[in-house]
Structure 1
Amino acid sequence: MSFIEIVKPGGLSHIQDRGRTGFEYLGLSRCGPLDFRLFAMAQTLVGNSLDDAAIEMTYQGLDFLSPHDPVIFSVAGVQDIRIGSCIHPARTTLEAGPGQRVSIGRLTGQRAYLAVRGGFDTPRVLGSRSTDFTAGIGGWQGRSLRAGDEIPVKAPPPHRIPAFDMLPDDTPDCDSPLHVVVGPDTGEFPPEAVNTFLKAEYAFTSASNLMGIRLSGPPIKPRD
C-alpha cells in the first residue's frame, strides 16, 4: 500500500473528510473541514470525491514525502509549494517522485488543504475519517499529525483527472458582510445586546476549534 511520510507536521495538521453526521445525540460533533470551499477545491484538482479524506493544515504548512511511489496531489489555501528545489503555484495538480520532499509554504488564510489522488486511507469511525479531537476518534489515531507518521493512501480510481490548469483564486473579500441567522435562543438576550452583536466588530480567536468559532469583542450579556 502507498503512503506518505510526514516530515514536518506544521502547526496543527489533521485528517478530515466531509464530516460525521447523525451522532450529535451521542455528543459527537460533525467535524469535517472548516473551510469547505478550499477542501472541495483541493479534492477536485486530483479527481477525488468530497467523501475522500484530505489533510487540513492550520496557520502553517507541512512537509511530506512519498518514500516508494510517485504521488499526485494538490494544495489549496497556500501561496506556493516546493517540490525538491523547484517552486510551484498552488491550486493546480502536481506530482512528486519517490523520495522527493514536498514543502508547503505560507497559508493565505487560517486553513489549507492537502489532497492526494485516491484520498487518505485511514480507518472510518462511525462512517467518517474525520478527526474528532474531543472524542479522540477518526483521522490518524484520533490526533494531529506528527513527524514520522506514515499515512496510507488509497489506490486511485480508474477515471482520469479533469484537465485543470489552475483553478482561479476566488478568495472572498475580507470586507464582505457575514449574514446571521436568528436562532431559538435569541429571546434570552435583550434587544440592545442583539444590536451590539450585529453592529460591533468581532475577531476570530485562536481558541476556535472544530466545535465552533470563539470571537473577541464587546461582551453580549443575557437577560437577568
Structure 2
Amino acid sequence: MSAALKVAAPGLFTTLQDRGRLGFQSLGMPVAGALDMLGLQIANALCGNPPDMAALELRYLGPSLLVEAESVRLALAGNAQADILAADGSVYPLSSWRSFTLKQGDTLRVGNTDAAVAYLAVAGGFDLPPFMGSLSTYTRAALGGFKGRALQAGDLLPLALPQAPAGGDRQVDDAAGLYGDGPIRVVLGPQQDRFTPDGIAAFLSGEYRVTQEADRMGIRLEGPAIAHTNGADIASEGIANGAVQVPGNGQPILLIADRQTTGGYTKIATVISADLPRLGGLKPGAALRFIQVGVAEAEAIRRRQQADLQALLADMRPAKPAGGLDLDALYRENLISGMVDAAQGGGA
C-alpha cells in the first residue's frame, strides 16, 4: 500500500499551495500560491521541510484526514480547532503551532479556523507532479495541486515518505505577533494621480468592511466611495499582489494570490508585503482601515518581520505528545527510584 492521506471530509475549501507559480505572468499565468506565506513557512519548519514546500491551505473549515501509512508527521500553523481520532477510538485535543505524529488508522480532524486561513504541512511533502514549477492549485483554470481543484471526500493524497522521519515533534509560540495589527499599511500608487484629494483622504480615513464577495482572487470592500478625477479605466497593465483596485463605483478591491495577471482599472495603492498575510485571514464582515507608509518604511517593516520569524523558528522546541503524557520521558526521570529513597529517609 502506498503511503497516503485519505480525505474523510474535505473542509470548506482545502487546496495545495506553495510559494506560487513564479515567472509566468507575462504568459498570462497567475501566480496563485499561499495567501499567508508566514503560516506556510512555519508549518514547513515544524515538519523539517524547506520553507516553500507545498502544504494544505485550510479556508474557514479544515478537513478530516485518515492516515493510510505506517506513520506520518504533520504540522498545523494558524489557530484552528483540531483533534486526533486515534485508531483505537480515543480522541485527543490538538493545539496549533506544532507538529504531531500519527499512525496508521488515526484521523486528524480540523474544525473552524480563527482567521480565514491556516496551513497543514506534511514531513517530506506530497508525491504529486508540479505544473510549471509549482504545486499551487489554481482552481479557476483547474490546474496544479491535486487534480486542479479543492479536496473532495474520498481523495487519496500520496505522501513522499512511507513513514514519519526520525525525531520528535516540535512546537513554537503562538505566531500572532508576527502579523501585527492596526490599519493595513499601503504605499500609494501606481495611479494615485487618477483620484481626487478627497478620494484619497476617504480611502485613508474611512472604515471598510469585507463583503461576501471575497475569495483567493480578490476581496471586495464596502465603505466610503473613492472619487476618481477622470474615470476608472486605464490601459491594461500588470497587477501586483496586494494591489488596491478601484472600479467606477468607488469601492476598493484587494487583489491577492489568484489575481488576474493584468487589469484595466485604476489602482490607488498597494498593500506592503509584510501585511499581505493579514489579507488572507480576513473574513466577510471584518472591518479594516488603511494607513500610508513610504517605500523605505515598507522595506524596513518587512526586514523586521523576517527577523522576528527567524527568531521564532530558532526558539522551536520539543513538543509533548498530542493529547497525552510522555510516559517515556517520565520513566527517564527515574521517579520510582526517588520515591524509594525518600521512603528510606534518604535524599531524592
TM over 0.5: yes
- Partners of 2:201 and 2:162 lie apart in 1 by 51
Counterpart Cα distance in 2 of 1:37 and 1:11:
21
2:174 match: 169
Q: How far did 1:120 drift?
A: 1.7
**In 1, are the aligned partners of 2:42 and 2:51 still within 8 Å (CA)?**
no
1:198 and 2:204 aligned: yes
Partner SS state of residue 213, structure 1: strand
How far the C-alpha of 1:217 sits from its partner, in A, is 1.7
Q: In structure 1, what is the equivalent of residue 161 of structure 2?
A: 155
How far 1:159 sits from its partner (Å)? 8.0
Structure 2: runs of 5+ lacking an equivalent: 86-90, 231-348
Distance 2:202 2:167 in 1: 49
Matched, 1:130 2:136: yes
Root-mean-square deviation (Å): 2.2
Equivalent residue for 2:24? 23
5 Å-filtered alignment, 1:1-224, equals 1-84=2-85, 85-155=91-161, 164=170, 166-172=171-177, 175-224=181-230
More divergent stretch after superposition (19-28 vs 143-152): 19-28
> TM-score, normalization: structure 1?
0.91
- Cα offset for 1:92? 1.2
Larger radius of gyration: 2
Partner of 2:57: helix, strand, or coil?
A: strand
Please state which structure has a larger fraction of its residues in strand.
Answer: 2
Give unmatched runs, 5+ long, in structure 1: none
Alpha-carbon distance in 2 for matches of 1:178, 1:161:
40
| Bigger helix share | 2
Q: Do 2:39 and 2:77's aligned partners in 1 also have CA atoms closer than 8 Å?
A: yes
Residues 158, 113 of structure 1: CA spacing in aligned structure 2 closer, same or farther, 3 A cutoff?
closer
Residue aligned with 1:106, SS = strand
Offset, 1:170 = 2.5
| CA distance, structure 2, for counterparts of residue 212 and residue 44 of structure 1 | 28
AA of the residue aligned to 1:69? E
Q: Is 70-79 or 171-180 further displaced after alignment?
A: 171-180
Q: 1:216/1:161 Cα in 2 relative to 1: closer, same or farther (>3 Å)?
A: farther
